[in-house]
Amino acid sequence: MNLPAPTQRWPALLLILLALQAPLILNPGWFSHDELQWAARAAVTHFGDLPWLGWTDVHAFQFRPLTFNLWLAISWLCFDRPWQMHALFVLLGSLNALLLASVLRAAQIPAHTASAGAIVFCLSPSVVYVHAWVGTLADLLVMLAGLAALRLLQASAKASRGRLLAIAIALPALIVAALLCKESAVVLPVLLLAALYRHPHPRRAWALIGLAALPVLVYLTLRLGILLDPARAHSGYAWSLRNPPARLTEYLLYPFLPILEPSATLGKPLPWLLLAATCLALVLGALAQRGWRWPFIWLGAIAVLFAPVLILATSYAQYAYLASAAAVGIAAAAWPGLSRKTRIVLGGVIAIVIAHGVLVMAAMVRVGMIERNFSADLHALLASDPPLLVIAAANDAKPWILQRLLHDVPQYRPARLVQSGERPDFFMQADGHLVPAMP
């Protein structure tokens, strides 16, 4: 494929990325209760009546005012037209891919390699997951800020004194914006270290990275105790220092396994795990051809970018978004120096990753179709104002989909999930439609 050079033909590369992700844009429904809950909060007549979140409550466990307020606004504008909301998220993700390509070009990576890296990034499984689910706005925004900061740091190499001052102001501002989006932004100073690659003025780069790290130090001083307080955390954020080995293993093997969530990784049969481990070994072996430091840099960057979530009890695909950019970026930087045989081997592994991404794309769209049918039938049933609607998953349906769609969604009350020993009123079929339970 004759890929466009990102610095010369941005619109063409953007169109390629959007076309490859077109199924996500056309997804007719939603993935989980998060977007349904935010839609309920945004269900007001006038934009000014939205329940905006405050910007100073640093003691909240999830202090994400920029993300949450943007989510309210987007839900108010687009929720009734799913394709518009999906298009916005895919566009944000594609902009992240373009920024990644721009970072690679600034590091003197060939244009076609940088463009290919942007495409591989968008088709990798964790990235597809993030671009497909509108519950991941925070992850998109954190990467947008992080890659923009990294690109500015690279631009400092040839900046005049006046422009250097502007960069010195913009860098910490971008980090602050990211910290207002999600807690994972604390790792962005590590991402900025990539600017040291082929930077002609490393001392200048180190000084700017230190400046960008100051907001993170302030943030951790104010909030580290809150984030690590188990009494404040939701069960999904329970943590233990025993968790990192298992979590890192799951995240590293996940791209090579045909599963939707990395939490299912270690439950796969041993032959699958051996195949995934072989793919990982082939990636590290290919990188080693560039020098013994390359595989360690690749693994180290991924591990550090995962650091805030490795202590958690469960791994989630969206947590791999930043690490996916690092994995693709470092592999792209190594690509020009690889032999033809090594490129073929690494290309085969990349094909496996892309195939997994396509499977994730199909699964996310399928859940969206199920949600569309489920919500339409449920709204029709709720119109008769029943005192209670007890719903169970039919034998051919996936219970986890029903659980995610019904969990604490205000507009679906009084419908709820069936409890142990209880007789359901309706069953959700595999396609999402609701049918009455047999008397």
pLDDT digits (tens, 9 = 90+) for 317-335: 999 999 999 999 999 999 9
Hey, what amino acid is at 50? L
Within this chain, do residues 108 and 250 fall inside the same structural domain, yes or no? Answer: yes
Within this chain, do residues 17 and 99 fall inside the same structural domain, yes or no? Answer: yes
Within this chain, do residues 329 and 266 fall inside the same structural domain, yes or no? Answer: yes
Within this chain, do residues 311 and 323 fall inside the same structural domain, yes or no? Answer: yes
Give the closest residue to 136 by CA, choosing from 175, 177, 99, 181: 181
Q: At what angle do helices 82-106 and 65-78 cross, to 10 degrees?
A: 130
Within this chain, do residues 127 and 218 fall inside the same structural domain, yes or no? Answer: yes
Within this chain, do residues 274 and 371 fall inside the same structural domain, yes or no? Answer: no
Hey, what amino acid is at 295? P
Total structural domains in the chain? 2
Q: Which residue has the tokens 């890659």?
A: 147
User: Whole domain around residue 147: which residue ranges?
Assistant: 10-364
Six-digit token string for 407: 């969990």
> Cα(114)–Cα(94) distance, rounded to whole angstroms?
14
pLDDT at 413: 87
Within this chain, do residues 288 and 422 fall inside the same structural domain, yes or no? Answer: no
Within this chain, do residues 267 and 180 fall inside the same structural domain, yes or no? Answer: yes
Q: Is residue 56 in some structural domain? A: yes
Helix, strand, coil % in the chain, rounded to nearest 5: 70, 5, 25
Within this chain, do residues 302 and 201 fall inside the same structural domain, yes or no? Answer: yes
> Cα(219)–Cα(363) distance, rounded to whole angstroms?
37
Domain stop point among 344, 364, 384: 364
Q: How many residues does the chain have?
A: 439
Low-confidence ranges of the chain (pLDDT < 70): 1-8, 230-235, 439
Measure CA of the first residue to CA of the last residue in the chain; give whole Å.
59
> Cα(43)–Cα(253) distance, rounded to whole angstroms?
41
Q: Is residue 342 in some structural domain? A: yes
Give the DSSP H or E segment for 415.
strand 415-417
Q: Is residue 5 in some structural domain? A: no
pLDDT at 1: 41
pLDDT at 31: 95
Within this chain, do residues 89 and 167 fall inside the same structural domain, yes or no? Answer: yes
Domain stop point among 343, 364, 385: 364
Give the DSSP H or E segment for 371.
helix 340-382
Within this chain, do residues 129 and 163 fall inside the same structural domain, yes or no? Answer: yes
Q: Is residue 289 in some structural domain? A: yes
Domain stop point among 346, 364, 382: 364
> Cα(118)–Cα(253) distance, rounded to whole angstroms?
21
Q: Is residue 162 in some structural domain? A: yes
Q: Is residue 72 in some structural domain? A: yes
Within this chain, do residues 304 and 392 fall inside the same structural domain, yes or no? Answer: no
Contact partners, residue 186, CB within 8 Å, separation at least 6: 179, 216, 219, 220, 308
Q: Is residue 158 in some structural domain? A: yes
- How many Cβ atoms from other residues are within 10 Å of residue 413's Cβ? 12
Q: How does strand 426-428 pair with strand 434-436?
A: antiparallel
Q: Is residue 242 in some structural domain? A: yes
